[in-house]
Structure 1
Amino acid sequence: MHEDLAAVREFLRHPTLAKAKAGAVEFWEIIGPGGRLHPGWFLEHKGHIVIEGLLMVIIAVMLLQSRFYPRTTEDEDALTDKEIDTLCQEWEPLPLVPDVSDEDYRPEPPLVQSRKGSSYDVLVNGQPALNLACSDFLGLGSAPCVQRRARETVERYGVGSCGPRGFYGTFDVHLELEKALAQFMGQEEAIIYSYDISTISSVIPAFASRQDILVLDEGVSYPIQQGAKLSRARVFWFKHNDMASLEALLQRIEDDEQRQRAPLCRKMIVVEGVYANSGDVAPLQQLYSLKESYRYRLCVEESHAFGVLGRQGRGACEAAGLQPGQVEVVVASMGTSLASVGGFCVGHHEVCDHQRLCGQGYCFSASLPPYLATAAHEALSILGSSRGQQLAAQVRRAAAALRQQLDGTPGLVVSGAKSSSKESSSSTESPVLHLQLSPTLVAAAGSRKAADMLLQGVADRLLTEHGLLLAVPRYSALDRVLPAPSLKMYVHAGLSADKLPHVVQAVREAAKHVLGPLVKGSQGL
């Protein structure tokens, strides 16, 4: 211990350490209070003048730099008239619309020139025809009481509303229609939109944003896809009507959230009651069970099921045995069974009230013309009567019969003709029927355009030789999954039992005439 203290004392008396101490003291005397380099001493001896002078020099240099003076047109040499003419001749503007390729070519649609009595007997390109491309499933567009109510409304309110609902475009007939729709659907409230396609594409962004999750069936139509895109939510897809795929997806999302400790967000499954692109009916009972198990909300687009499926015509949800309110958001078009224009959404009070502030198609579009609202209201009253139920039952029977009798048509596959699932057996009653080109002929055609042209040939023969108007659906290139090429037929109340044999025979004859040689050729290969 004494030896350590002696060593320390010896180190402190070392000359080098003494010099270091003396240097530190001298340095402090220079920079410390009173020292020559202390800020106080510098200011006392007018040192701030040096700093201020230096700043003034810097400012003057910056102001005198040429780049701070804007260049004027006088400093530039003016172009001569010849140079201007040359530049104008060389300029080639970009096309406003890109060139249409052969693949994008679409034939002219048939021209409907008049109707004769019902909604279904029309004059097309100068030829009488039965309209099977019309989604007025119950034929209420030509009902005398509906037309009379529309005329009375035009005389009272005029033609247009000329304003959005939130400003000066709300009429009493809008509120009456919303109340009637809510009562018919067994819901607390309803909200109507002036355009059916903008309804679902406005509803989805109203309830989903960037941090939320949307789970969509791959078979949903473009308006739903666009609504999901506009919401900017995280979108996940499951295979069409495949509940095993959906459950695996929901479990994967849940596992990822638990692993990442993700914050709470809104989650919604979006499907169609009857899919516009296939005619299939969604297995809503299984969808309801899965959304309850994984704590999701469910949004069902019922445009092609409303008025036809279900005991009271409420749609696919009712047909699946679901009670009002079990599906949080139900959306449908008024352009199908109500034979009007626009769309509606029903649900709890909060669901509809929120859209009055956040539904873009509601807030920023002129409201539904009053006469269309009263026409839809009158059609809804028929839909809720025994007559409406009879018409819906007639449509369901005709749809099931057509699927059964058209099955086996050469070169065509009937959507929903056969169903192995009890849950999806109502697909046979779907009023949307697609006659899809067989996979063999699609492959033989070689391109989408060629496949569509084959089907267009069938449609043209049906119109010219048999007086039946069918459509070949055209899809957007932006569709996530492009549906199979098909002829699309809307089954409606105009297809009485005596007309079904003619329709079946005509479709078989046209398909055999146009597709028969290709079918034989593919079989020969």
Structure 2
Amino acid sequence: MASAVVNIATAALDWVAVAFDAPFAGAVVFGVHINGHLVAEVLLIAVILFQLTRKSYKPPKKPLTEKEIDDLCEEWVPEPLHPPITKEMKVEPPTIESAAGPHTIIEGKEVVNFASANYLGLIGNENIIDSCVASLEKYGVGSCSSRVFYGTTNDHIDCETRIAKFMSTPDSILYSYGISAIFSVIPAFCKKGDIIVADEGVHWGVQNGLHLSRSSVVYFKHNDMASLESTLEKLTNKQAEKVRRYIVVEALYQNSGQIAPLNSIVRLKEKYHFRVILEESHSFGVLGNTGRGLTEHYGIPIEKIDIITAGMGNALATDGGFCTGSARVVDHQRLNGSGYVFSASLPPYLANAAIAAVNYLEDNPSVLTVLRRNISLVWEGLSDVPGLIIASDPLSPIVILKLKNSTGSLKSDLELLNKIVERVLVEDSILIVSTKRSVLDKCRLPVGIRLFVSAGHNESDIKKVSESLRRVACENWPDIV
């Protein structure tokens, strides 16, 4: 078949060549020599012009009958706006009816709260409340605009200056919502075609930022520096040198309670010429001798980290988030950070609360000693719980208990853990949580029970949660071993 088509095409070309070389294919008209090639080109242009000027074919419009319309309406099935509702989704979590301090109220009953990341115990602090009241009297509840219009007050500027001074960086920028800091910062600097190497255990806010950036994202094994170096080595080539390259990690992982080995990360960053974006929502105000985070914890100069972000809803007991670093990094976000440009600014009283919280931390470094003592007591009390094992770092205020022997199913593991969580609340009035994840969360780490330890907890609270978990785990022994 193919040879026949080739033969036909060859014969046609031979015929055209003979025609163009024939006597009638060349002529002189008004002194102009016209040959066969010129005639063919003129004809070709004429055909193209004819095709361009033709009206496109439109089939005659025939209106649908009422019966046809009714049939189409009956057959139409709208797309669901959300995934199918499962039995697990219908379970309502307990509702906190008071401030989420070390002790709170649920259904009119006081419970010990290990479910809120109130690390320094500053929820309800009188100095912070007084600062909020003063700001409310001056500016009101909200600014009603984004920072780039008329949503900037002196409280915002003072808060940015205070955080930069505390962290020893040139400048800082505030975001109106804690989680919006990281998923605005990443797309502000990382674009389509860039390369991002991220830890597989990062929380949903980081995942969302990675998705919005449209960059090429490669994950490495959680907190595994061998896996990170192998990944960086594979991505380092002549072509990769022409694009921007980033390493994205959490200082203290929300999903595992593990601390990132920043010394190794900085070494690899410098070896393979990557930039580092460090998410410090759970380490800011917690790690380091004075609570300045992971860089202080490892004694690494902060200028070695390109971008640092953190939410202020944990240690600082307020809301909002910030990014700190060089003046160039901060200035870029004032025009490119979507959460900064397009969102109403942080209410001024919350910015003022953050200033008061940072001042408290700087004036009372002993609060970190209390926090670390409480973390040690929790480890001591939960080290021998039947069927469960502590999977977090000994210095982490996020204590993760996971099953010693997984069932092999994420759903089954969660059912067992939720059973323990519910019994601890109902029988012993202690609020703890499991590491539930939404359908959007792509974290690959095992699930577990998560306790947030606070400097506001006392020894009685810690003893109570330890004894309760040990008793309930023993009674559920056949299911979790």
Question: What is the match of residue 166 of structure 2?
Answer: 184
Cα RMSD, aligned residues only: 3.0
After TM superposition, the structure 1 = structure 2 runs for residues 436-451 of structure 1, keeping only pairs within 5 Å, are 436-438=402-404, 440=405, 442-443=406-407, 447-451=409-413
- Greater Rg, structure 1 or structure 2? 1
Question: What is the match of residue 281 of structure 2?
Answer: 303
3-state SS in 2 of match to 1:499:
helix
The answer as to whether partners of 1:135 and 1:492 remain within 8 angstroms in 2 is yes
Select 2:297's aligned residue among 319, 323, 327: 319
Deviation string 1:262-314 (CA, Å, 9 cap, x unpaired) is 55222211111100000000111111111112222111111111111101101
After TM superposition, the structure 1 = structure 2 runs for residues 36-435 of structure 1, keeping only pairs within 5 Å, are 38=34, 62=54, 67=57, 71=60, 76=62, 79-80=65-66, 88-102=73-87, 105=89, 107-115=91-99, 119-254=101-236, 257-258=237-238, 261-385=239-363, 387=364, 389-416=365-392, 427-435=393-401
Deviation string 1:150-197 (CA, Å, 9 cap, x unpaired) is 122112211111111111111111000000000000110000100111
Shift of 1:365: 0.7
Q: Take 2:162 and 2:93, find their aligned partners in 1: how far apart are those partners?
A: 36
Q: TM-score, normalised by structure 1?
A: 0.80
Shift in alpha-carbon separation, 1:145–1:208, aligned structure 2, 3 A: same
Shift in alpha-carbon separation, 1:35–1:299, aligned structure 2, 3 A: closer
Question: What is the match of residue 464 of structure 1?
Answer: 426
Q: Take 2:332 and 2:299, find their aligned partners in 1: how far apart are those partners?
A: 28
Structure 1 gap ranges (5+)? 1-23, 40-50, 417-426
3-state SS in 1 of match to 2:198:
strand
Question: What is the match of residue 453 of structure 1?
Answer: 415
The answer as to whether partners of 2:176 and 2:346 remain within 8 angstroms in 1 is yes
Shift in alpha-carbon separation, 1:27–1:291, aligned structure 2, 3 A: same
Shift of 1:391: 1.2
1:491 to 2:453 alignment: yes
Shift in alpha-carbon separation, 1:354–1:32, aligned structure 2, 3 A: same
- 336-345 or 323-332, which deviates more: 323-332
Q: Take 1:231 and 1:413, find their aligned partners in 2: how far apart are those partners?
A: 37
Q: Take 1:36 and 1:500, find their aligned partners in 2: how far apart are those partners?
A: 105
Letter aligned with residue 414 of structure 1: I
The answer as to whether partners of 1:132 and 1:470 remain within 8 angstroms in 2 is yes
Letter aligned with residue 99 of structure 1: P
Shift of 1:78: 6.3
Shift in alpha-carbon separation, 1:106–1:406, aligned structure 2, 3 A: farther
The answer as to whether partners of 1:309 and 1:396 remain within 8 angstroms in 2 is no
Shift in alpha-carbon separation, 1:27–1:284, aligned structure 2, 3 A: same
Letter aligned with residue 84 of structure 2: D
3-state SS in 2 of match to 1:192:
strand
Shift in alpha-carbon separation, 1:92–1:220, aligned structure 2, 3 A: closer
Shift in alpha-carbon separation, 1:30–1:370, aligned structure 2, 3 A: closer
Deviation string 1:311-358 (CA, Å, 9 cap, x unpaired) is 110112211111221211111111011111111011010011111111
Q: TM-score, normalised by structure 2?
A: 0.87
Letter aligned with residue 401 of structure 1: L
Deviation string 1:360-403 (CA, Å, 9 cap, x unpaired) is 11111110011111111111110111x2x111221122112312
The answer as to whether partners of 1:273 and 1:317 remain within 8 angstroms in 2 is no
3-state SS in 1 of match to 2:137:
helix
Q: Take 1:429 and 1:29, find their aligned partners in 2: how far apart are those partners?
A: 93
Shift of 1:412: 1.0
Question: What is the match of residue 516 of structure 1?
Answer: 477
Q: Take 1:36 and 1:229, find their aligned partners in 2: how far apart are those partners?
A: 66
- 261-270 or 87-96, which deviates more: 87-96
Shift of 1:33: 5.2
Letter aligned with residue 493 of structure 1: A
Q: Take 1:220 and 1:285, find their aligned partners in 2: how far apart are those partners?
A: 19
The answer as to whether partners of 2:200 and 2:444 remain within 8 angstroms in 1 is no
Q: Count matched residues.
A: 455
3-state SS in 2 of match to 1:215:
strand
Identity among equivalent positions (%) equals 38
The answer as to whether partners of 1:29 and 1:35 remain within 8 angstroms in 2 is no
The answer as to whether partners of 1:414 and 1:434 remain within 8 angstroms in 2 is yes
Q: Take 1:414 and 1:392, find their aligned partners in 2: how far apart are those partners?
A: 22
Q: Take 1:221 and 1:159, find their aligned partners in 2: how far apart are those partners?
A: 30
The answer as to whether partners of 2:199 and 2:249 remain within 8 angstroms in 1 is yes
Shift in alpha-carbon separation, 1:155–1:78, aligned structure 2, 3 A: same
